[in-house]
Structure 1
Amino acid sequence: MSLETVAEDIRDEARARAEEIRIDADERAEEIIEAAEADAEEIREQRQAEVEREIEQEREQKLSSAKLEAKQERLEARRDVLQSVRDSVEAEIASLEGDRREELTRTLLDAATAEFDDDAGVQVYGRADDADLLESILADYDGYELAGEYDCLGGVVVESESSRISVNNTFDSVLDDVWENNLRDISSRLFEEQ
C-alpha cells in the first residue's frame, strides 16, 4: 500500500468520523432545541395559567367589591327612605290639632300621673305651641302646674321635686318606642322583604 492510499484511507476515515460527529451534533442540537421548546411551552402554559388565575382573582375581587358597594348603596337608600318616612310621621304628629291632640295629650298625662301618687307640686313641661292646651288640661289636675317649655312634638314631661321622679311622655318618646319596636316590620313593608 502506498502512502497515498494510506493518506486517502485516513482522510476517508476522518471524513466519516467528521460526518458522524456532525450527525451526532445535529441530533444533539435537535434534542436540545426540542427540550428548549418543550421547556418554553411548559413555561408559557404555566405563565398563561398564572395570568388566568390573576385575571380570575382580580375579576372576583372587583365583583365582590362591586357587590359590597351596591349593598352599601342599597342600605344607604333604605336608611334615607326610612328617615323620610320618620320625618313624615313626625310632621304628621306635629300637625295634630284640636280634639285629637287634646285626647292624646290627656292620655299621656294620665299615664304619667300614675307615677306621682299624691305628690304636691308636680311640674309639667310641654311644647311651646301647646301651652294653652296644657293650661286647660291641667285645670283638671290638683297640684299640677305648667312649668315651662320642652322641645318636642307634643305630649308632656312631668316632674316632681319631692319624689325626684321625671316621666317623659312626649309624642317623641312614644314614637321612638313604636319606631324601635316596629322597625323590622316597617322595613319589610317598605321594601317587600319576606
Structure 2
Amino acid sequence: MSLDTVVEDIREEAHARAENIREEGETRAEEIVADAEDDAAEIRAEAEREADREIEQLREQRLSSAELEAKQERLEARRDVLGDVREAVEEELASLEGDTREELTRTLLSAASDEFEDGDDVRVYGRAEDRDLLESIVDDYDGYEVAGERDCLGGVVVESEGSRVRVNNTFDSILEDVWEDNLREISGRLFDQ
C-alpha cells in the first residue's frame, strides 16, 4: 500500500469520524434544546398553576374577609337592637307606678326577708323615689328600717350586720338574671332564628 493510499484512508476515516462527531453533536444539541423546551414548558405550566392557586387563594381570602365583615356588622346591629330593647325594658321598669310597683317591691322584700333571722336589725335600701313606699312596706316587718338609697330601677337591697347577709333584690338584678337566662330566646324572637 502506498503512502497516498494510507493518507487517503486516514483522511476518509477522519472525515467519517468528524461526520459522526458532528452528527452526534447535532443530535445531542437537539436533545438539549428539546429538554430545555420541555423544561420551559413545564416551568411555564407550573407558573400558571401557581398563579391560578394564588388568584384562587386571594379570592377566597377576600370572600372570607367580606363574609366576616358582614357577620360582624350583623352582630353589631343585633347588639344595638338588643341594647335598645334592654333600655326600653329598664325605662318601663323605672316608670312603674302605683299598685304594680308596690306589689313588686313587697314581693322582693318578702323574698329577701327569708334570708334573715327574727330579731335581726335589717336595713333596707332602695330607689330615692321609692322612699315613702319603702317606709310603708317596712312598717310590716319588725326590726327593719329604710337606711338609705341605692341607684337602681326599683326593688330593694336588704342587709344585716348581725348575719352579714346582703340580698340584692333590685329590679336591676332581677332583670339581669332574667336577661341572661333568656337572651337566646329573646334574640331568637327578635331575629327569627
With 43-52 and 62-71 compared, the bigger mean Cα shift is at 62-71
- Please report the TM-score for the alignment, with normalisation by the length of structure 1: 0.82
In 2, the alpha carbon distance for the partners of 1:144 and 1:30 equals 109
State the one-letter code of the partner of 1:62.
Answer: R
2:41 matched to 1:41? yes
In 2, the alpha carbon distance for the partners of 1:104 and 1:174 equals 11
Change (3 A) 1:162 1:19: closer
With 184-193 and 26-35 compared, the bigger mean Cα shift is at 26-35
2:161 maps to which residue? 161
Contact 1:126 1:149 in 2 (8 A): yes
Shift of 1:185: 0.8
Shift of 1:67: 2.3
Shift of 1:162: 1.8
Shift of 1:108: 0.6
1:7 maps to which residue? none
In 1, the alpha carbon distance for the partners of 2:14 and 2:143 equals 136
Q: Percent identity?
A: 71
In 1, the alpha carbon distance for the partners of 2:46 and 2:88 equals 62
In 1, the alpha carbon distance for the partners of 2:85 and 2:176 equals 13
2:144 maps to which residue? 144
1:130 maps to which residue? 130
Shift of 1:139: 2.2
Shift of 1:120: 3.8
The CA RMSD over aligned residues, in Å, is: 2.8
Shift of 1:30: 4.4
1:176 maps to which residue? 176
1:95 maps to which residue? 95
Shift of 1:56: 1.5
Shift of 1:23: 6.9
Count, aligned residues:
191
State the one-letter code of the partner of 1:56.
Answer: E
State the one-letter code of the partner of 1:42.
Answer: E
With 17-26 and 172-181 compared, the bigger mean Cα shift is at 17-26
Shift of 1:146: 0.7
In 2, the alpha carbon distance for the partners of 1:146 and 1:75 equals 43
Give the SS at the match of 2:117.
coil
Consecutive unaligned residues of structure 2, counting only runs of 5 or more, are 1-12
In 2, the alpha carbon distance for the partners of 1:136 and 1:77 equals 44
1:92-111, Cα deviation, whole Å (9 max, x unpaired):
10111111111111111111
In 2, the alpha carbon distance for the partners of 1:23 and 1:115 equals 110
Give the SS at the match of 2:72.
helix
With 156-165 and 56-65 compared, the bigger mean Cα shift is at 56-65
- Please report the TM-score for the alignment, with normalisation by the length of structure 2: 0.82
In 2, the alpha carbon distance for the partners of 1:144 and 1:17 equals 126
With 94-103 and 139-148 compared, the bigger mean Cα shift is at 139-148
In 1, the alpha carbon distance for the partners of 2:119 and 2:80 equals 45
